[in-house]
Amino acid sequence: MKSKRLLAALLTVSLTASIALVGCGKKEDEKPAEGNNNETSEVKMDKEQYLNVLLQAEPKTLDPSKSTDMYSSQVLTNVMESLTRVQTNEEGKDVITPGIAEKWETSEDGLTWTFHLRDAKWSDGQSVTAEQFVYGITRTLNPETASDYAFLLYPIKNAVAYNSDKAKAEDVGIKAVDEKTLEFTLERPCSYFLDLTYFKVMEPQRKDIIEKHGDKYGTEADTMVFTGPFTIKEWVHNNKVELVKNPEYWDAENVKLEKATMKIIKEVTSRMNELYNGSLDLGAVTKPEWIEKFDKTEKFDVKKGYDGSATYMFFNQDTKYFKKC
The answer as to whether 311 is a domain residue is no
For the ranges 18-32, 126-140, 228-242, 292-306, the lowest mean pLDDT is seen at: 18-32
The answer as to whether 8 is a domain residue is yes
Domain containing residue 128: CATH number: 3.90.76.10
11 shares its domain with 50: yes
36 shares its domain with 112: no
Task: Give, in order, the Cα–Cα distances in Å from 190 to each of 107, 156, 194, 200, 315.
Answer: 12, 9, 9, 19, 35
The answer as to whether 126 is a domain residue is yes
Print the domain residue range for 123.
90-202
234 shares its domain with 265: yes
Q: How much is the pLDDT for 283? A: 81
Q: How much is the pLDDT for 216? A: 98
Please state the domain count of the chain: 2
What letter does residue 126 receive in the DSSP assignment? Answer: P
198 shares its domain with 222: no
The answer as to whether 283 is a domain residue is yes
Burial bucket for residue 115 (CB in 10 Å: 0-12, 13-18, 19+): buried
Express each pLDDT in 212-233 by its tens digit: 999 999 999 999 999 999 999 9
Q: Are 118 and 204 in contact (CB under 8 A)?
A: no
Residue 289: which pLDDT band, with cuts at 50, 70 and 90? Answer: confident
The answer as to whether 30 is a domain residue is yes
239 shares its domain with 159: no
Neighbours of 179 (CB within 10 A): 13
Express each pLDDT in 140-157 by its tens digit: 999 999 999 999 999 999
190 shares its domain with 114: yes
What letter does residue 219 receive in the DSSP assignment? Answer: T
The answer as to whether 171 is a domain residue is yes
Residue 323: which pLDDT band, with cuts at 50, 70 and 90? Answer: confident
**pLDDT beyond 50 at 206:** yes
Give the span between the Cα atoms of 216 and 210, in whole angstroms.
9
What region, left, alpha or beta, does residue 278 occupy, with left being phi > 0 and alpha being psi -120 to 50 degrees? left
**pLDDT beyond 70 at 39:** no
Backbone angles phi, psi at 133, to 5 degrees: -70, -40
The answer as to whether 56 is a domain residue is yes
Look at residues 170, 202, 234 and tell me which one is the last residue of a structural domain: 202
Q: Are 238 and 58 in contact (CB under 8 A)?
A: yes
61 shares its domain with 2: yes
Look at residues 147, 174, 202 and tell me which one is the last residue of a structural domain: 202
Q: What is the mean pLDDT of residues 92-118?
A: 97
96 shares its domain with 133: yes
192 shares its domain with 95: yes
101 shares its domain with 196: yes
Domain containing residue 296: CATH number: 3.40.190.10
236 shares its domain with 298: yes
The answer as to whether 315 is a domain residue is no
109 shares its domain with 198: yes
Q: What is the value of pTM for the model shown? A: 0.81
